[in-house]
Amino acid sequence: MNPHKLPSIGYDVIFDDTLTELHRFIQQHTYSKILILTDRNACIHCLPVLQEAMPWFDGYDVIEVDPGEENKNIDFCVGIWKMMLDFGADRQSLLINLGGGVITDMGGFTASTFKRGIDFVQVPTTLLSQVDASVGGKTGVDMDHVKNIIGTFAQPKAVFIASTFLRTLDQRQLVSGFAEIIKHGLIADRSFYEAIKGLDATAISLEHIRHSVAIKNNVVTQDPLEKGLRKILNFGHTIGHALEGHSLASDRNPLLHGEAIAAGMICEAYLAHRLNGLSEDALNDIIQTFRRHFPDYSYDREIYEALLVLMKNDKKNAGHRIGFSLLSTIGQCDIDVFVEEDVIVESLDFYRNLIGSGR
């Protein structure tokens, strides 16, 4: 496959299954030290893929962390910074973030703050990180189960996307990433949404990934610091992040990000119908799409207070108002729609009644 480059803000998003462009990037620079940040799963399944693609590549050090969103916190960052010091990293070093969204988020954050910033590149290995977390220059870690509340805007030197890594994923991880692909169609490209909504996650092609990334990249290049348009990417995330945070704290088998955002998008589609002109037909279509691909998430009304606390701490809020990005129709999204708590509760009840746990 010939490499395909998508220019972004100060860097390229490069689609290259051979990883030739990563090889070229490293050869073109004279870094004093190269470090690879990865987690235990990616170290087993993905690092060998990189090593096989670039057999000449040696002289690097590996920093391995435990996998999972529950480990994306400042304590793990301290451990990464200490390993950087132990390996002798300086300001001329490069950090390669090899893994899913946790690694690209946390790796970008640690690189952007170590010695006031060192170069980093993203090599996302999950569908979710390829279409979402690795692109856009946001870095971050969680605190008190509030998603990405500590972070920076820091652009990587490049993003290298290889569909080869997707072969290492199980079905649940693939489906989780599909949520963000569907979201990109819902907020900005109706024809893309119509084309993908009936596909199985295993049928997602590199062209679908490229198109999804291009939608996000187009938004990010217009609004890199999330002052306006970029907020449309948060559709489903105000409620979805709260569900994800609560699940991480409470469930034995916590929701994956895409699973939480799928439930969040159903709730927020209800809000869009209730408050922002989304038609009933569109609402029902969105519900059918997400319930076709994602498992229902059952919760009790007793958690509503905790969910609202998490929503109130969301970084998109203004003052004490809880902010949403809501569809007006499929393919168009409005930002800064502030919703009262009683209406948010309605949306949570709507989802519970929909899946049959609200009786």
Same domain as 184, residue 145: no
Check if 226 is active-site: yes
Check if 230 is active-site: yes
Select from 168, 186, 207 the last residue of a domain: 168
Q: Average pLDDT, stretch 141-159?
A: 94
Check if 227 is active-site: no
Same domain as 272, residue 202: yes
Check if 21 is active-site: no
pTM over 0.85: yes
Residue pLDDT, tens place only, 58-107 = 889 999 999 999 999 999 999 999 999 999 999 999 999 999 999 999 99
Select from 168, 186, 213 the last residue of a domain: 168
Of 116, 167, 227, 359, catalytic: 116
Of 257, 293, 316, 352, catalytic: 257
Check if 180 is active-site: yes
Q: Is residue 343 pLDDT above 80, yes or no?
A: yes
Select from 150, 168, 186 the last residue of a domain: 168
Check if 316 is active-site: no
Residues in the chain: 359
Confidence at 275, pLDDT banded by 50, 70, 90: very high
Tokens of 15: 């689609």
Of 234, 244, 246, 276, catalytic: 234
Alpha carbon of 177 to those of 109, 235, 331: distances in Å? 22, 15, 19
Instruction: Look at the chain and report how many structural domains it folds into.
Output: 2
Of 147, 183, 211, 241, catalytic: 241
Query: CATH no. for residue 228?
Result: 1.20.1090.10
Residue pLDDT, tens place only, 295-328 = 999 999 999 999 999 999 887 777 778 999 999 9
* Region of poorest pLDDT, from 233-237, 238-242, 276-280, 310-314: 310-314
- Domain ranges, residue 312: 175-355
Of 237, 246, 273, 293, catalytic: 237
Exposed/middle/buried for residue 42 (C-beta within 10 Å: 0-12, 13-18, 19+):
buried
Of 197, 216, 293, 316, catalytic: 216
Same domain as 260, residue 139: no
Same domain as 193, residue 131: no
